[in-house]
């Protein structure tokens, strides 16, 4: 009989007390409309319980933490393995995490640089290493032809003219016959007359001989003497002008620079040892980007005004740290080279170039032994990055600049190389943002993970993924309270015959996504010419006014460079008067009709527990206003700020308003546990005392948009904003749903979080000018079945607020959409 995981009585979130069998060591897809309970089943039940049990099996410390993790609402789960979630959200908040550290490639590089690297003097650009006499002799016979005439020198450095007579006397007493002063040879007997100069660069000529096997003994004796006289440094020079200095200790033979001790820690920008002291390993100057300070100011600014700033993040470009030039590393770490490159130069390469570099490393037998294992590990991880459609990511790319999909695939690349088996992997929508070609490779990789003896549970709507899976679980039938049931569970070829399954209808082609009957045309364009950032080949492009334009292509083809780095920044600078540097281009023509440009992309929001729908949509400001008007609040003199969890005063200070506490697990991903002081409410006792119609501000944030729309129905301004959220299909989300907790609906987190609220805010009528909405959107987020509902709500928006074009994206490839909205 097939091995399986049995779930009994799952009731987490909207799950309706379901019993379910999930086959083990198989590729299982959970599908269904947005809000149907897919993530509640995959993440909040299966993964949460697997993680909890796994932690319980570990140390006492981990066990304590496990006790504070919320156990999922389920009667029993049998046959569960340790589980690992590879989500698109919740990447480490560590500002020093990069693609290199996430994949562990950087750890192997550090090892290689420590064991095999050569220190180069940062002043003289010469190798710094320690030499034994035998090594010097070997080096000489390698560098010079036999029978070469050589001078053996003992450098004494710069000697002041006044001190010369005494020095010469001493050298004569010690038996030396000649010196080299500023490159010229002088006999010491009789007393030489040096040209008048404040100081001279003096080297003792210890011996003159011909390189010869028979003279080997004499060479060794003279070298030892030179090293002694030169305090650890000896020089060899030929009449032809070749010369080289050798140090016994790791010191620059010319300037005396002492190299660092080579250990893996030296190359870590996460450790005080290796980090650049002026930016502390962050690579940029100014704010240190850590702690809550920046979160706080951003949060308060965003929810203190009714209209939050239109352009979140992105424009802020922290300046590169001048001390390390953005490499995050100390000078000592950067002074070490391997195969001609320092570790920061290697990190700035893409996977293909790193592979060329590491394959080109050449060592003797013992060096090869050191190289072998790390080289193999690095190459396999580089291959994985390429296969996962990330051939353009450099190792030094900061993880907080990755899109959700990219971050997920980087972590996947790491998991594949860690050769685990017997693990339950839970993934959310790995196909998001992938071109069909890259998507096929991704599926191959997932199959490899399964074939290594792991179970995969993937939340996904993509048709191809469903068809290639071993087992499909379709959740539904509707969203929220209308969902939470298993509509279908079985092999994918049978779902088409399941009458109750919307997904089945799409798979079988009985239902199809409608393409618009007529498309909007525009005779007027604005034009970008000569775009040549990154890999763009000086291209020009027209963008029609009043239309939705879709930019597509395989990973790394230049979509983001063209739209985000060039067009958006050029427009933002010209129209919004923002300080920003676009990628190089020649001209931007005919853009005068645009009144404003708004960027809607995945990255800037949703990465902290402080980002909640209420703040981002601006409704929170109104609700706080309302709470400050309650008689009890007025009596106590509470202002709207009192009801912010971003500022001191009303919030719980134990968790500083996050409601959760982050626990570092060191060798495991960080986990979040309920704050013991406020039990997730984010507020202190006094604030919670204030209630409106029986609900505190915390319980208002617990409401779904639907519930809140009813609860606040007397307040037109609040109602207006909530209705708009309902219009775009977001009624089932909770007002205070934090981004970093395990979500009830992965769609909201992966796609909706970042793109829907701003999109919806963009359609509010205001003035009569043209406005450009730029959306960096990874594919259409909602499931196949909810896609057809899309034009309905869109047309409602159009009717309400004059959105001039409602061609919704139905392509399944990665899209960077561009829409112009008439407001």
Residues that bind Zn ion (CB under 5 A): 121, 123-124, 252, 254-255, 257, 276, 278-279, 321, 323-324, 652, 654-655, 675, 677-678
Closest distance between Zn ion and the C-beta of residue 277, in Å?
Answer: 8
For the record, the structure tokens of 173 come out as 């007493």
Q: At what angle do helices 716-727 and 790-801 cross, to 10 degrees?
A: 140
Q: What is the number of alpha carbons within 13 Å of residue 54 lying toward its C-beta?
A: 19
DSSP state of 509: T
Closest distance between Zn ion and the C-beta of residue 155, in Å?
Answer: 12
Output 321 or 572, the one with its CB closest to Zn ion.
321
CA neighbor of 465 nearest in space, from 450, 478, 480, 453: 450
Closest distance between Zn ion and the C-beta of residue 348, in Å?
Answer: 15
Closest distance between Zn ion and the C-beta of residue 78, in Å?
Answer: 35
Output 246 or 257, the one with its CB closest to Zn ion.
257
Output 123 or 540, the one with its CB closest to Zn ion.
123
Closest distance between Zn ion and the C-beta of residue 658, in Å?
Answer: 7
Output 321 or 567, the one with its CB closest to Zn ion.
321
CA neighbor of 491 nearest in space, from 53, 29, 819, 169: 29
By residue count, the chain amounts to: 823
Closest distance between Zn ion and the C-beta of residue 251, in Å?
Answer: 9
Output 119 or 202, the one with its CB closest to Zn ion.
119
Output 80 or 121, the one with its CB closest to Zn ion.
121
Output 105 or 324, the one with its CB closest to Zn ion.
324
Output 156 or 407, the one with its CB closest to Zn ion.
156
Q: How far apart are CA 139 and CA 136, in angstroms?
A: 5
H or E, element range at 302: helix 293-304
627: Cβ contacts below 8 Å, ≥ 6 apart: 633, 638, 640, 643, 690, 692, 697, 700
Residue ranges in 42-103 assigned as alpha helix (H): 48-56, 60-68, 99-102
DSSP state of 44: I
Closest distance between Zn ion and the C-beta of residue 124, in Å?
Answer: 3
Closest distance between Zn ion and the C-beta of residue 300, in Å?
Answer: 18
- CB distance 355 to 379 below 8 Å: yes
Largest CA distance in the chain: 112
Q: How far apart are CA 259 and CA 120, in angstroms?
A: 8
Per-state percent for the chain, helix, strand, coil, to nearest 5: 35, 20, 40
Query: Cα 249 from chain centroid?
Result: 40
Output 245 or 616, the one with its CB closest to Zn ion.
245
Output 124 or 668, the one with its CB closest to Zn ion.
124
Query: Cα 161 from chain centroid?
Result: 59
DSSP structure string for 391-424? TT--TT-BGGGS-HHHHHHHHHHHHHHTT--S-E
CA neighbor of 747 nearest in space, from 701, 789, 780, 703: 780
CA angle at 768 for the pair 765 and 770, rounded to the nearest 5° = 95
Closest distance between Zn ion and the C-beta of residue 560, in Å?
Answer: 26
Closest distance between Zn ion and the C-beta of residue 318, in Å?
Answer: 11
Closest distance between Zn ion and the C-beta of residue 250, in Å?
Answer: 12
CA neighbor of 85 nearest in space, from 58, 56, 49: 49
CB count in 10 Å sphere of residue 539: 14
Output 259 or 430, the one with its CB closest to Zn ion.
259
Closest distance between Zn ion and the C-beta of residue 118, in Å?
Answer: 14
H or E, element range at 635: helix 631-636
Output 652 or 703, the one with its CB closest to Zn ion.
652
For the record, the structure tokens of 25 come out as 């060591």
Burial of 5 (0-12, 13-18, 19+ CB in 10 A): buried
């Amino acid at each position: 009989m097939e091995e399986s995981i049995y779930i009994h009585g799952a009731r987490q979130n909207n799950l309706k007390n379901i019993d379910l069998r999930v086959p083990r060591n198989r590729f299982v897809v959970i599908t269904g409309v947005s809000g149907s309970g897919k993530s509640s089943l995959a993440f909040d039940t299966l993964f949460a319980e697997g993680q909890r049990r796994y932690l319980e099996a570990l140390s006492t410390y981990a066990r304590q933490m496990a006790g504070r993790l919320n156990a999922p609402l389920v009667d029993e789960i049998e046959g569960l393995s340790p589980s690992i979630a590879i989500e698109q959200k919740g990447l480490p908040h560590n500002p020093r995490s990069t693609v290199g550290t996430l994949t562990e490639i950087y750890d192997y590089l550090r090892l290689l640089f420590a064991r095999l690297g050569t220190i180069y003097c940062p002043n003289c650009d010469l190798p710094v290493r320690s030499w034994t006499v035998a090594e010097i002799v070997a080096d000489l016979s390698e560098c010079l032809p036999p029978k070469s005439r050589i001078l053996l020198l003992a450098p004494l450095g710069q000697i002041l003219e006044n001190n010369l007579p005494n020095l010469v006397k001493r050298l004569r007493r010690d038996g030396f016959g000649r010196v080299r002063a500023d490159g010229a040879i002088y006999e010491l007997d009789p007393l030489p007359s040096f040209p008048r100069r404040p100081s001279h660069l003096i080297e003792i000529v210890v011996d003159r001989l011909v390189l010869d096997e028979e003279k080997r003994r004499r060479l060794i004796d003279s070298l030892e003497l030179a090293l002694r006289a030169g305090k650890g440094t000896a020089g060899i020079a030929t009449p032809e002008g070749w010369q080289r200095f050798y140090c016994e200790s790791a010191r620059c033979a010319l300037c005396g620079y002492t190299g660092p001790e080579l250990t893996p820690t030296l190359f870590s920008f996460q450790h005080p040892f290796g980090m650049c002291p002026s930016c502390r390993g962050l690579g940029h100057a100014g704010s240190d980007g850590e702690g809550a300070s920046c979160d706080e100011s951003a949060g308060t600014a965003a929810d203190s005004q009714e209209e939050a700033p239109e352009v979140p993040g992105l424009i802020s470009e922290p300046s590169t740290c001048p001390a390390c030039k953005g490499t995050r590393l100390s000078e000592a770490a950067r002074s070490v080279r391997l195969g001609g490159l320092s570790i920061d130069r290697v990190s700035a390469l893409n996977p293909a170039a790193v592979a060329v570099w590491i394959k080109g490393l050449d060592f003797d037998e013992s060096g090869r032994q050191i190289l072998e294992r790390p080289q193999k590990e690095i190459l396999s991880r580089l291959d994985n990055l390429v296969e996962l459609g990330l051939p353009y990511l450099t190792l030094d790319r900061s993880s907080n600049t990755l899109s959700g999909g990219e971050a997920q695939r980087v972590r996947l690349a790491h998991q594949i190389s860690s050769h685990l088996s017997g693990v339950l992997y839970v993934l959310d929508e790995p196909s998001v943002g992938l071109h069909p070609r890259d998507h096929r490779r991704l599926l191959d990789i997932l199959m490899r993970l399964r074939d290594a003896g792991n179970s995969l549970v993937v939340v996904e709507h993509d048709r191809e993924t469903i068809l290639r899976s071993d087992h499909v679980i379709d959740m539904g039938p509707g969203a929220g309270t209308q969902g939470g049931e298993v509509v279908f569970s079985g092999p994918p070829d049978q779902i088409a015959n399941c009458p109750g399954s919307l997904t089945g209808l799409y798979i079988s082609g009985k239902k199809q996504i409608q393409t618009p009957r007529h498309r909007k045309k525009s005779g007027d364009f604005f034009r970008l010419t000569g775009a040549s950032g990154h890999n763009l080949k000086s291209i020009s492009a027209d963008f029609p006014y009043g239309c939705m334009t879709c930019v597509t292509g395989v990973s790394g083809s230049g979509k983001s460079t063209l739209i985000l780095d060039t067009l958006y920044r050029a427009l933002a600078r010209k129209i919004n008067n923002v300080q920003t540097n676009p990628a190089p281009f020649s001209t931007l023509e005919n853009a005068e009709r645009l009144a404003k440009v708004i960027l809607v992309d995945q990255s800037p929001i949703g990465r902290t527990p402080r980002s909640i729908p209420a703040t981002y949509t601006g409704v929170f400001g109104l609700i706080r206003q309302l709470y400050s008007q309650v008689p009890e609040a007025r009596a106590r003199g509470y202002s709207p700020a009192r009801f912010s969890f971003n500022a001191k005063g009303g919030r719980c200070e134990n968790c500083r308003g996050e409601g959760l506490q982050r626990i570092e697990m060191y060798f495991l991903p960080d986990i979040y546990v309920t704050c013991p002081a406020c039990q997730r409410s984010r507020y202190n006792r006094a604030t919670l005392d204030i209630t409106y119609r029986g609900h505190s501000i915390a319980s208002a944030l617990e409401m779904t948009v639907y519930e809140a729309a009813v609860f606040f129905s007397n307040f037109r301004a609040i109602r207006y904003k909530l209705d708009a959220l309902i219009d775009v299909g977001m009624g089932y989300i909770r007002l205070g749903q934090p981004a970093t907790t395990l979500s009830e609906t992965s769609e909201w987190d992966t796609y909706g979080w970042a793109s829907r609220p701003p999109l919806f805010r963009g359609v509010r009528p205001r003035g009569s000018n043209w406005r450009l909405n730029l959306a960096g959107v990874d594919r259409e987020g909602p499931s196949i079945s909810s896609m057809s509902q899309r034009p309905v709500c869109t047309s409602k928006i159009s009717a309400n607020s004059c959105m001039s074009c409602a061609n919704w994206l139905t392509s399944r490839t990665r899209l960077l959409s561009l829409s112009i909205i008439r407001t």
